[in-house]
Amino acid sequence: MSDHHRRPHPFQSDADLIRHSDDPIIVWNISKGVETWSDGATQLYGYSEEEALHRSPAELLGTDYPVPWDEILSALRTTGSWEGELRKHGKDRREVVLWSRLRLLVDPDGTERVLEVSRDITSRKRIEDALRAAEARFRSLYEAQQTAHLVLATDFTIEAASPGYLRATMTREEDLVGRNIFDAFPENPDDPFATGARNLRRSLERVLESRRSDRIPVQKFDIRSPDGAFHLRWWVLLNIPVFAADGQVTNIINQVEDVTAEMEERQKAAEAQAREERFRTVVEAIPALAFETDAAGSYTYVNAPFSLLTGMPGSALLGDGWLQIVHPDDRGAAAAAWQEAVEQAHFYETAFRIRTGEESWRWFMARGNPLRDQAGAVEKWIGICNDIDGAKKLEELQQLMMGEISHRVKNSLALVASLLSLQARTAGDDLRAALQDAAARVQAVAIVHDQLWRQADAKAVDLAVFLPSLVLAVARTAPRHDTVVRIDPALVSAKMAVPIGLFVNELVTNAYKYAYAKGSEGEVRVIGTTIGEERYRLEVADQGRGLPEAFDLTRATTSLGMRVITSLAAQLNGELAAASADPGAQFVLEFPLTPRMAAGPG
């Protein structure tokens, strides 16, 4: 410890002087408590000297130190003094704030005493706290208000920016304050027609000249984001002068309101109106029947040809009034198809008859598309009805002719099969078997042809409809066998359906003939399974005697049936495999659903 801390302290000799001081002075022995208590301390804290003696001043006054006491004591023992702000509580528990200076002196015997001289700064602190609170309230009110504005000096230097302004312009206050507004917000260099900066400067200059507020109703002024890109913005601006006591303009409040969304909506509305006018001009000129509906599918507009053709006023066809001109036999299906399209929000296409006179009806193809807003919700529907009466009647005639042709082809094939069967009765054993097989294959072609004709769309055949019907027709020739068919849906071309049908027919017929002993019964399974989206697996299996030992498809050249199925598999670009099913035999063909088919024989 430094020597100057060990010299005898003057506290005792000056005790009377200290005791009668008007300043709050306390002398205390660190170990034994208060030794001297001034009149000023009594006046400030409310404790008499007798109440304070020998008590720890920290405990007596509830002293709140800015740092732990041990740190203060360490500083006293190191430097001999410490000063800072303390908070104490008087006898009436009223808090006082003091600026205190502590001094440590140590007797030769090591006794440590602290002299504390304080100055009451409670009033000053209250004023400071009130000022800070007022400033905080003002700041919170300033930040809470919703207007977006800058405070500008008369040379257009930015002095403050509201939170709303910072949000609207994607900026930070520290990046704006102290900068000229035109340096902080440059014009968009990519817009050669930009006038924002020029018009803003003129407005600010008018405020200084006229000493009155100046408003810019709508102004385009693009804003640069932190990444350097400019973004389209439209603003309403109000520049307001701020006056000093002498009447001079000291500042300008540059208040802005972002109206970009409103301007974009106005622009969209104008564009929509222009599109609507063009749409109406076009649809009134075309001969087709055009219509428009709301999001729920209720008609809101029909063009003039609609009324001219039907003889009905356009107003009578709005809502669901259009249904009254639809043929009674078609009305339910037309309404259901339209309702489904509206509910599912998908493309609408339906053919129905429309009344064009008292007893006259014509076929029309109605098509409609939903129009969506930016959020993807259906806004309205636009559609058109095209006259297909001539095409419909031609289609019906073609359908009738095709049905007649198909019926004749089927009968002709059945006649050929019957002739072959008759010939087989008088032939030898080997020739008889060959003729019977030939008759069966001709009959199979007839069955495949008939099933294809029965498909709703001859260009695309659904295997889940085609194969069960085919197998059921073949199964009628072998009623003692159980035939199980499970086919996954898959669309193939009519060109593919022919070899697929013949392939299944050949294997099913063979299973009926050879899988089981003559006169016995058994099961034949036909299973079709989709593999992903592009391939298909066909399985024909039985539970009979199984394949001959060492059976090999690649060497089964002596069997016409095996040559037929391998040839058909090749036409389908498929992979054919045969194996024992334990019991029985199993043939599996995997092929692509949309291949370029290999050229078949002939």
Q: What is the pLDDT of residue 469?
A: 84
Give the pLDDT confidence of 202-253 residue by residue, as tens digits.
999 999 999 999 999 999 999 999 999 999 999 999 999 999 989 999 999 9
Contacts of 601 (CB under 8 A, 6+ apart): 567
Q: Which two tokens stand for residue 41?
A: 């301390």
Asked if residues 204 and 152 have their Cβ atoms less than 8 Å apart, the reply is: yes
In three-state secondary structure terms, 546 is coil
Ranges under pLDDT 50 in the chain: 1-8, 405, 408, 412, 415, 419, 456-457, 597-602
In three-state secondary structure terms, 584 is coil
Q: What is the pLDDT of residue 565?
A: 85
370 φ, ψ (degrees, to nearest 5): -80, 140
Distance CA 266, CA 218 (A): 13
Asked if residues 158 and 178 have their Cβ atoms less than 8 Å apart, the reply is: yes
Place of tokens 């989206």: 533
Q: What is the pLDDT of residue 474?
A: 81
Q: What is the pLDDT of residue 473?
A: 79
Beta bridge partners of 491: 462
Asked if residues 452 and 499 have their Cβ atoms less than 8 Å apart, the reply is: no
Q: What is the pLDDT of residue 16?
A: 77
HEC per residue, 287-347: CCEEEEEECCCCEEEECHHHHHHHCCCHHHHCECHHHHHECHHHHHHHHHHHHHHHHHCCC
Q: What is the pLDDT of residue 600?
A: 44
Q: What is the pLDDT of residue 599?
A: 44
Q: What is the pLDDT of residue 269?
A: 86
Q: What is the pLDDT of residue 397?
A: 59
